[in-house]
A and B are shown apart, each in its own frame.
Chain A
Amino acid sequence: MTRPAASATRRRRNAAENALAYAFILPAMLILLVFHFAGGFAAVGMSLFKWDIVPGAFRGLDNYQTVLVGSRAEEFWHSLSVTLTYTLITVPIEIVLSLVLAYLLFQKMRGRAVYRTLYYLPYITSVIAAGVIFNWLMNPNYGFFNQILELVGIGPQRWLDEPRGLFELMSGGLLAGWAQGPSLALVGVSLFTIWHFIGFQVVIFLAGLGNISTEYYEAARLDGASERQIFWRITLPLLSPTTFFVATIATIGALKAFNQIYVMTNGGPLDTTRTLGYEIFHVFFQQGRIDLGAAMAVLLTIIILLFTLFQFRIAERRVHYG
Chain B
Amino acid sequence: MRLKLAIIAAVMVVATACSGAATAPAPSSQADIDLVGPTALVLWHTQTGANAKALQELVDKYNSTNDKKITVTLQYQGSYTQLYQKNLSAIQAGALPELAVAYESFVADYQKADVVLNLDPYVSSAKNGLTKVQLEDIYKSYLDTNRFPQFGNQLLSFPFTKSLLVTYQNDDVLKEIGKTAPKTWDEFEATARAAVKKGADGKTSRYGWASNISASTFNGWVLSRGGKLMSADNKTVAWDGKEGVDSVKLFDKLLKDGVSYVPKGFDYQTDFGTGKVLFVEESSTGRPFFKSSFKGPINWSITGIPQIDPAKPKTVQYGANVAIFKSTPEKQLASWLFVKWFTDAAQTADWAVKSSYMPVRNSAKDTQVLKDSWAKDDPQGKQAFELIGASLPEPNARGQQDVRTVIEDLLTAVAAGKVTDIEKAVKDAGVKANQILKDNQ
Tell me which of A45, A52, A173 has the highest count of chain B C-beta atoms within 10 A of its own C-beta.
A45
- Top-7 shortest CB links A-B: A45-B7, A53-B112, A54-B113, A285-B85, A55-B15, A269-B412, A163-B416
Given contacts A45-B10, A45-B11, A54-B15, contact A286 B264 (CB under 8 A): no
B409 within 8 A of A: yes
| B439 engages A141 (CB within 8 Å) | no
24 contacts across the A-B interface (CB closer than 8 A): A45-B10, A46-B11, A48-B7, A52-B112, A53-B88, A53-B91, A53-B112, A54-B15, A54-B18, A54-B91, A55-B15, A139-B267, A141-B263, A161-B412, A163-B416, A163-B418, A164-B418, A268-B409, A269-B416, A270-B413, A271-B409, A286-B81, A286-B84, A287-B402
B262 within 8 A of A: yes
Interface string of B12-35 (1 = CB under 8 A from A): 001100100000000000000000
| B11 engages A164 (CB within 8 Å) | no
Tell me which of B8, B11, B263 has the highest count of chain A C-beta atoms within 10 A of its own C-beta.
B11
Question: A301 CA to B10 CA in the complex, in Å?
Answer: 22
B104 within 8 A of A: no
Residues of B within 8 A of A271 (CB): 409
The B404-437 residues at the A interface (CB cut-off 8 A) are 409, 412-413, 416-418, 435
Using C-beta atoms within 8 Å of the partner chain, give the interface range for chain B.
20 to 34
| A270 engages B409 (CB within 8 Å) | yes
A226 within 8 A of B: no
Question: A45 CA to B9 CA in the complex, in Å?
Answer: 10
Whose C-beta in chain A lies nearest to the C-beta of B439? A71
Residues of A within 8 A of B418 (CB): 163-164, 270
| A53 engages B109 (CB within 8 Å) | yes
A49 within 8 A of B: yes
Interface string of B82-120 (1 = CB under 8 A from A): 001100110110000000000000000110110000000
B301 within 8 A of A: no
Tell me which of A142, A285, A288 has the highest count of chain B C-beta atoms within 10 A of its own C-beta.
A288
A241 within 8 A of B: no
Given contacts A54-B15, A139-B264, contact A163 B112 (CB under 8 A): no
Q: Which residues of B line the A interface, CB within 8 A? A: 7-8, 10-11, 14-15, 18, 81, 84-85, 88-89, 91-92, 109-110, 112-113, 262-264, 267, 401-402, 409, 412-413, 416-418, 435, 439
Question: A285 CA to B89 CA in the complex, in Å?
Answer: 8
Question: A268 CA to B84 CA in the complex, in Å?
Answer: 20
Question: A118 CA to B243 CA in the complex, in Å?
Answer: 56
Residues of A within 8 A of B84 (CB): 286
Whose C-beta in chain B lies nearest to the C-beta of A156? B203
Residues of A within 8 A of B7 (CB): 44-45, 48
Residues of A within 8 A of B15 (CB): 54-55
Q: Determine how close the nearest CB of chain A comes to the CB of B293; give it in whole angstroms.
A: 13
15 further A-B contacts with Cβ under 8 Å, apart from A54-B112, A71-B435, A268-B412, are A53-B91, A53-B110, A53-B113, A55-B15, A55-B18, A139-B264, A141-B263, A158-B264, A164-B417, A164-B418, A269-B416, A270-B409, A285-B89, A287-B401, A287-B402
Question: A163 CA to B89 CA in the complex, in Å?
Answer: 32
Q: Determine how close the nearest CB of chain A comes to the CB of B51; give it in whole angstroms.
A: 22
Question: A49 CA to B88 CA in the complex, in Å?
Answer: 17
Q: Which of B112, B264, B409, B413 contacts A161 (CB 8 A)?
A: B264
The A245-262 residues at the B interface (CB cut-off 8 A) are none
Whose C-beta in chain B lies nearest to the C-beta of A285? B85
The A133-177 residues at the B interface (CB cut-off 8 A) are 139-142, 158, 161-164, 173
Residues of B within 8 A of A173 (CB): 417
Residues of A within 8 A of B109 (CB): 53, 288
Residues of B within 8 A of A285 (CB): 85, 88-89
Question: A49 CA to B14 CA in the complex, in Å?
Answer: 13
Given contacts A53-B88, A141-B267, A270-B409, contact A288 B112 (CB under 8 A): yes
A115 within 8 A of B: no
Q: Determine how close the nearest CB of chain A comes to the CB of B288; give it in whole angstroms.
A: 22
Question: A52 CA to B15 CA in the complex, in Å?
Answer: 12
Q: Determine how close the nearest CB of chain B comes to the CB of A139; give it in whole angstroms.
A: 6
Given contacts A45-B11, A54-B15, contact A164 B416 (CB under 8 A): yes
| B11 engages A55 (CB within 8 Å) | yes
Q: Which of B264, B402, B412 contacts A270 (CB 8 A)?
A: B412
A58 within 8 A of B: yes
Residues of B within 8 A of A158 (CB): 264
Q: Determine how close the nearest CB of chain B comes to the CB of A65; give it in whole angstroms.
A: 15
Question: A162 CA to B168 CA in the complex, in Å?
Answer: 27
| B10 engages A288 (CB within 8 Å) | no
A42 within 8 A of B: yes
Whose C-beta in chain A lies nearest to the C-beta of B10? A45
Given contacts A270-B416, A286-B401, A287-B402, contact A55 B14 (CB under 8 A): yes
Whose C-beta in chain B lies nearest to the C-beta of A267? B405
Residues of B within 8 A of A270 (CB): 409, 412-413, 416, 418
Question: A301 CA to B316 CA in the complex, in Å?
Answer: 44
Question: A185 CA to B361 CA in the complex, in Å?
Answer: 45
Tell me which of B89, B409, B412 has the highest count of chain A C-beta atoms within 10 A of its own C-beta.
B412
Q: Determine how close the nearest CB of chain A comes to the CB of B396; give it in whole angstroms.
A: 16
Residues of A within 8 A of B10 (CB): 42, 45
Residues of A within 8 A of B401 (CB): 286-287
Question: A290 CA to B15 CA in the complex, in Å?
Answer: 13
Question: A139 CA to B401 CA in the complex, in Å?
Answer: 26
Residues of B within 8 A of A48 (CB): 7
Residues of A within 8 A of B262 (CB): 161
Residues of B within 8 A of A290 (CB): 92
